């Protein structure tokens, strides 16, 4: 059976398809997507690649919110992958062009894991999707066992710093799965701006900074030196570990567990 031609317009979808072992299906990705590990560097927007097949790198079709849909059409995709509410309008534009759009919008950790199953079906790898989801649940179970019955530190996670925004969606679940307490946003709710008083009142034991689009390129001093009456260590981690509902999110839970409970789960090096 011929593999489908897939254009991924969401970094989380690209990462998930790659984790499924289906990177060869990708003929187009955005400039914000990480290329498969064995595919070299994805071309920039100013130097489009030819459609990827047989180990070639996928073409870059623009940003994840402003892709070139004419370029997408040139790639003749069998399926176009989108994600997140911010891509709702884009997904509709793609449907109007006649593309077969698979839009997945998880809001919690459980939904993110279920999306691995859906993505497997999206790219004709249903068994791989089921397997990836099961492996992810097993990893989460191991973390839960390692941190069970231990004191839960209070954690503040910052997704954006100007203005400061407490992370929402699946991040509250991720913190709790890692053995922490997260009083700032309920699971499944969008990230929201916070004021210093609310953070101070919560008296967090850990400040976790994972600014969207910055990777781990954030100086912890920018948070530590604020006029916040908070005495807690600042941990800067790669934003992909918490900000995208891909298998990297499971890595993120393990990373947090290592920060909160290093004696129980010493796996904080990823």
Q: What are the domain boundaries of the chain?
A: 6-105, 152-260
Position 203 scores a pLDDT of: 95
Give the integer Cα–Cα distance in Å for 130 and 110: 14
**pLDDT at residue 269 tops 80:** no
Predicted confidence band at 265 (pLDDT cuts at 50, 70, 90)? confident
CA nearest to 192, candidates 181, 205, 180, 183: 183
Contact 59/70 with Cβ under 8 angstroms? no
Q: Are 172 and 186 in contact (CB under 8 A)?
A: yes
Q: For position 3, what pLDDT does the model report?
A: 87
Q: Which of 147-156, 175-184, 210-219, 254-263 has the lowest mean pLDDT?
A: 210-219
Task: Provide the CATH number for the domain formed by 152-260 in this structure.
Answer: 3.40.50.1980
- Same-fold call for 6-105 versus 152-260: yes
Quick one: CA dihedral 166, 109, 248, 30, positive or negative?
negative
Rounded to two decimals, what is the model's pTM?
0.89
Would the pLDDT of 73 be above 80? Answer: yes
**pLDDT tens track for 131-158:** 999 999 999 999 999 999 999 999 999 9
> What pLDDT score does 87 carry?
95
Of 135 and 221, the one with more pLDDT: 135
% of the chain surpassing 70 pLDDT: 90
Higher pLDDT, 66 or 218: 66
CATH number of 6-105: 3.40.50.1980
CA atoms within 13 A on the CB side of 63: 5
99's CB contacts (< 8 A; 6+ apart) are 72, 73, 77, 79, 80
Distance CA 167, CA 83 (A): 18
* Cα–Cα distance list, 234 to 78, 162, 207 (Å): 45, 17, 5
Token digits for 5? 């031609």
């Amino acid at each position: 059976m011929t593999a489908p031609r897939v254009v991924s317009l969401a970094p989380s979808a690209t990462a998930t398809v790659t984790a499924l072992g289906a990177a060869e299906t990708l003929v187009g990705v955005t400039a914000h997507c990480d290329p498969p590990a064995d595919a070299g560097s994805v071309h920039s927007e100013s130097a489009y690649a030819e459609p990827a097949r047989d180990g070639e790198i996928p073409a870059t079709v623009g940003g994840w919110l402003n892709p070139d849909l004419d370029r997408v059409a040139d790639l003749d995709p069998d399926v176009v992958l989108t994600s997140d509410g911010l891509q709702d309008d884009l997904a509709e534009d793609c449907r109007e062009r006649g593309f077969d759009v698979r839009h997945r919008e998880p809001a919690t950790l459980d939904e993110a894991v279920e999306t691995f199953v859906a993505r497997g079906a999206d790219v004709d790898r249903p068994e791989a999707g089921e397997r990836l989801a099961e492996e992810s649940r097993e990893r989460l179970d191991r973390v839960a066992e390692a941190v069970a019955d231990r004191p839960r530190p209070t954690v503040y996670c910052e997704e954006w710093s100007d203005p400061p925004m407490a992370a929402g969606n699946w991040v509250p679940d991720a913190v709790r799965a890692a053995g922490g307490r997260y009083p700032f946003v309920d699971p499944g709710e969008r990230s929201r701006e916070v004021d210093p008083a609310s953070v101070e009142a919560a008296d967090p034991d850990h400040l976790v900074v994972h600014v969207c689009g910055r990777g781990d390129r954030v100086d912890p001093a920018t948070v530590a030196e604020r006029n916040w009456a908070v005495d807690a260590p600042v941990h800067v981690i790669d934003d992909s570990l918490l900000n995208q509902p891909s298998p990297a999110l499971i890595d993120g839970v393990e990373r947090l567990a290592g920060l909160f409970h290093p004696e129980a789960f010493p796996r904080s090096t990823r």
